[in-house]
C-alpha cells in the first residue's frame, strides 16, 4: 500500500494556500458586512481544499496517462511519473477525494440555503461543475487544459466562484462591487497557471499539450502575464476606492511589493527553468494579499 508521504507529495501542499485565498477574501467581506458564519467558513475551506487536492491528483493522473510527464518536463517529478503511486491507486484516490469533497459541498449548500431554495439547486450545479472541472483539466480526451482553456476555468472557479460565491453563501445578496476582488483573485490565480505553463512551454508543445502559452508563444505569454498581475492590482484598488472606510483598507498594498518584484524577475528571465521558484512566490504573495485584505476588512 502506498505510504502516506507519497500521497502528501501528490497532494502538492504548496498549492493549497492559493486555493483558499478566494475563501479568505469573500469571507472577510462578509465579516465587514456583519453576515459571517463560522460553520459556512469551515465547510467552504474544506470544500475548496478538497477540490484543489482532487485537481492535483487528476493533473498527476491525466498528464501521466497522456505521456506529458516525461524526461522533458521541467518542474518537480510527480507521484505517478516517479512510481511512488500506481495509476490504479491514483484513480481510486481521485474517486475518494471527489466523494468526500462532494459531501462537504452538500453540507455547505444546505446549511447556507436549506432544502427548498433555487439557490440550493444553483450551488449544487456549481459544486458538481467544480468537481468536474477539477478532473477534466487534464483527464480524458476532451481535457480543456490541453486546449488552452485552463486560464478561463481558473479565473472562473478561483475568482468568481471562490470569492463571490463564498460571499453569497453568507449574505444571500447580490453586490456587484464584490466582483472586483473576485477578478483580482481570479487574475492572480490565472497568473500562477500562466507561469507554470511558461515554465513548461517547450515540453508541453512536444507532448501536444496546447496550453494558452503554447498557442501564444513565449513573448506574448510574458506580456499576458504582466496584464494579469497589473489588472489584478487595478480591480482591487477600484474596489477599495468604491468601499473605502479608513486607512486599514489599504493594508493589502504591502503585498504589492513582492508581486512587483515578481514581475521584475519575470521580465528579466531568459531561462524557463528559473521560473519554477517564482511559482511559489506568486502563489504565496497572492495568499498574503488575501490575508492582508481580509485583515483590513475585519478591522
For residue 10, being part of any structural domain is answered with no
What's the structural domain count of the chain?
Answer: 1
In a domain, 42, yes or no: yes
Confidence (pTM): 0.92
Is residue 287 assigned to a domain?
yes
Residue 4 lies in a domain: no
Q: Are 275 and 217 in contact (CB under 8 A)?
A: no
Angle at 161 between CA 49 and CA 134, to 5 degrees: 50
Q: What is the dihedral of CA 202, 204, 208, 212, to 10 degrees?
A: -100
> For residue 8, what pLDDT is reported?
87
Residue with grid cell 481570479, as numbered in its chain: 186
Q: What is the pLDDT of residue 62?
A: 83
Domain extent at residue 127: 16-298
Residue 74, in any domain of the structure: yes
Q: For residue 256, what pLDDT is reported? A: 95
Q: Which residues of the chain have pLDDT under 50?
A: 1
| Span 258-278, pLDDT tens digits | 999 999 998 888 887 788 888
Is 7 contained in some domain?
A: no
Amino acid at each position: 500500500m502506498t505510504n502516506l508521504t507519497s500521497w502528501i507529495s501528490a497532494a502538492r501542499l504548496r498549492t493549497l494556500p492559493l486555493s483558499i485565498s478566494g475563501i479568505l477574501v469573500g469571507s472577510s467581506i462578509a465579516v465587514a458586512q456583519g453576515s459571517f458564519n463560522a460553520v459556512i467558513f469551515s465547510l467552504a475551506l474544506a470544500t475548496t481544499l478538497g477540490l484543489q487536492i482532487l485537481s492535483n491528483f487528476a493533473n498527476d493522473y491525466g498528464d501521466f496517462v497522456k505521456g506529458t510527464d516525461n524526461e522533458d518536463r521541467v518542474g518537480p517529478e510527480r507521484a505517478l511519473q516517479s512510481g511512488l503511486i500506481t495509476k490504479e491507486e491514483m484513480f481510486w484516490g481521485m474517486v475518494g477525494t471527489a466523494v468526500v469533497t462532494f459531501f462537504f459541498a452538500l453540507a455547505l449548500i444546505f446549511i447556507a440555503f436549506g432544502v427548498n431554495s433555487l439557490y440550493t439547486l444553483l450551488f449544487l450545479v456549481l459544486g458538481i461543475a467544480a468537481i468536474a472541472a477539477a478532473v477534466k483539466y487534464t483527464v480524458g480526451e476532451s481535457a480543456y487544459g490541453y486546449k488552452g482553456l485552463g486560464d478561463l476555468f481558473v479565473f472562473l472557479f478561483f475568482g468568481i466562484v471562490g470569492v463571490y460565491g463564498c460571499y453569497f453563501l453568507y449574505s444571500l445578496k447580490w453586490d456587484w462591487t464584490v466582483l472586483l476582488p473576485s477578478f483580482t483573485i481570479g487574475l492572480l490565480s490565472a497568473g500562477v497557471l500562466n507561469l507554470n505553463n511558461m515554465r513548461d512551454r517547450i515540453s508541453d508543445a512536444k507532448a501536444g499539450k496546447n496550453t494558452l502559452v503554447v498557442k501564444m508563444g513565449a513573448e506574448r505569454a510574458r506580456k499576458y502575464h504582466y496584464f494579469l498581475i497589473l489588472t489584478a492590482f487595478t480591480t482591487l484598488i477600484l474596489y477599495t476606492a468604491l468601499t473605502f472606510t479608513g486607512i486599514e483598507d489599504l493594508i493589502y498594498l504591502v503585498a504589492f511589493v513582492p508581486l512587483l518584484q515578481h514581475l521584475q524577475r519575470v521580465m528579466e528571465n531568459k531561462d524557463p527553468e528559473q521560473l519554477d521558484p517564482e511559482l511559489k512566490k506568486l502563489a504565496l504573495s497572492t495568499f498574503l494579499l488575501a490575508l492582508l485584505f481580509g485583515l483590513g476588512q475585519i478591522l
